[in-house]
Amino acid sequence: MKKQDWAERLKKLPPYLFAEIDRQKSSLKEKGVKFIDLSIGDPDILAPAKVIDVIYKSAKVKDNQKYALDQGKLSLRIAIKKWVKNRFAVKLDENKEILPLIGSKEGLVHFPLGFVNKGDYVIIPSPGYPGYRGAALFAGASVYEAALLRENNFLPDLGKVPIGVRNKAKIIYLNYPNNPTTALAPMSFLEKVVKFCSKYGIILAYDNAYSEIYFEDKPHSILEVKGAREIAVEFHSFSKTFCMTGFRIGWAHGASELVSTLLKVKTNIDSGIFGAIQAGARFALEKEQSYVKNLRKEFKNRRDFFIKNLQKIGLGNAYADSTFYVWVKLPRGIKSSMDFVKYLINEKRIIATPGIGFGKYGRGYARFALTVKKDILKKAIDLLEKI
């Protein structure tokens, strides 16, 4: 058979950051080398036990073994509606403004397919979740990286987006609480974003996957902002809120036109979410708020411990305002985040994530995930002390 070349859209994609890290981990495992994994945000904490029970029982129900509705179960959409109202004081229509997803990543990546044409721009945060870039390129868009710089509290300076980009932009992705910088977005900034998008006719895809992983200040929903309901869609994830990463379930809510367009895309791609998973997700939203509170407490303890000890060993230039990550400025004298991460793997057997993997403005940083217990974090600190 003739060897087939990749499609041009694949050639434009950089190597997917976390797939590369997985390959490195697999290589170490094959060699029998033990390592400390502080790379990917996949918590070690078990999902709520009662959620598992609900899924187990629901899996035996025949209706849940059939194709699911593309729009998701009405019972789940109503549970989402109630949760959003309780959490953000935002009222939603469960039939027009809510759409369950096979994980928030699925929705975020498929979203541009409903709106973007060749020649359009998609604005992505840099550093930012790599899926945004892939979403834009798969849809045939040009990408503009909006810098998240420390001097601007890791918020993009929208005034620096070129006029030519603004006029051709269809979508801007934003993500607060932010991965990887851990920054939070104040209401004053969100109001500026909504005005910016409204002025230039740009759709705001607001990734709020980490809305419940906070420590001091409570994150907002973009729909709390006046005018956002006309231009924004917000994405949420059960992966972070309930440690249900492998279950693959999340949702989108927002402007009915945007939600319905995403639904149209999805009806041509997937066949809905396994009904038992939807039942478990509904139970989590309705009954597991104490689990979420305890989860925050655990991650705060890990964060405080890790930050305190980083300061002791001279790596105190770090940020951990929310999420379960720590965004660390590279030690003095080290310029390449890739070189730093390779050094950690080869010499310290610690796996972290290079900042450059999140975009060009991530250079000079590395990200550590607090997804292991404190005793393992202590071992990592002991090893880092000897850099």
Q: What is the pTM of this model?
A: 0.96
152: in domain: yes
∠ Cα 25 30 35 (to 5°): 45
299: in domain: yes
**Which residues are CB-contacts of 58 (< 8 A; sequence separation ≥ 6)?**
64, 275, 276, 279, 280
pLDDT for the residue numbered 123: 98
219 and 356, same domain (yes or no): no
Question: Which helix (H) or strand (E) element contains residue 370?
Answer: none
pLDDT tops 80 at residue 15: no
Q: Is 306 helix (H, G, I), strand (E, B) or coil?
A: helix
- How far is Cα 107 from Cα 261, in angstroms, rounded to an integer? 11
pLDDT for the residue numbered 12: 85
CATH of the domain at 32: 3.90.1150.10
302: in domain: yes
Of 227, 262, 288, the domain-final residue:
288
pLDDT for the residue numbered 231: 98
Q: Kindly report the number of other CB atoms within 10 A of residue 192's CB atom.
A: 16
351: in domain: yes
pLDDT for the residue numbered 261: 98
27 and 63, same domain (yes or no): no
250 and 301, same domain (yes or no): no
241 and 377, same domain (yes or no): no
63 and 199, same domain (yes or no): yes
239 and 151, same domain (yes or no): yes
Residue 1's pLDDT band (cuts 50, 70, 90): low
99 and 143, same domain (yes or no): yes
- How far is Cα 98 from Cα 177, in angstroms, rounded to an integer? 21
pLDDT tops 70 at residue 344: yes
Of 245, 264, 288, the domain-final residue:
288
- How far is Cα 211 from Cα 222, in angstroms, rounded to an integer? 11
CATH of the domain at 134: 3.40.640.10
- Once rounded to an integer, what is the mean pLDDT over residues 369-378? 97
Residue 299's pLDDT band (cuts 50, 70, 90): very high
Residue 315's pLDDT band (cuts 50, 70, 90): confident
Backbone angles phi, psi at 235, to 5 degrees: -115, 135
Of 248, 268, 288, the domain-final residue:
288
154 and 235, same domain (yes or no): yes
- How far is Cα 135 from Cα 126, in angstroms, rounded to an integer? 15
pLDDT tens profile 130-148: 999 999 999 999 999 999 9
13 and 142, same domain (yes or no): no
297 and 317, same domain (yes or no): yes
CA distances (Å), 175 to each of 53, 68, 192, in order?
32, 29, 15
61 and 40, same domain (yes or no): no
Q: Of the given ranges (6-15, 143-152, 154-163, 242-251), which has the lowest mean pLDDT? A: 6-15
237 and 252, same domain (yes or no): yes
Q: Of the given ranges (27-31, 88-92, 152-156, 161-165), which has the lowest mean pLDDT? A: 27-31
182: in domain: yes
**Which residues are CB-contacts of 49 (< 8 A; sequence separation ≥ 6)?**
none
Decide if 100 contacts 278 (C-beta within 8 A): yes
3: in domain: no
pLDDT tops 90 at residue 31: no
Taking alpha carbons only, the member of 183, 160, 176, 173 closest to residue 203 is 173
- List the structure tokens of 27: 């290589």
pLDDT tops 80 at residue 16: no
2: in domain: no
Residue 324's pLDDT band (cuts 50, 70, 90): very high
Domain with 218, as residue range(s), is: 49-288
Residue 8's pLDDT band (cuts 50, 70, 90): confident
- How far is Cα 280 from Cα 119, in angstroms, rounded to an integer? 42
Domain count, the chain: 2
pLDDT tops 90 at residue 26: no
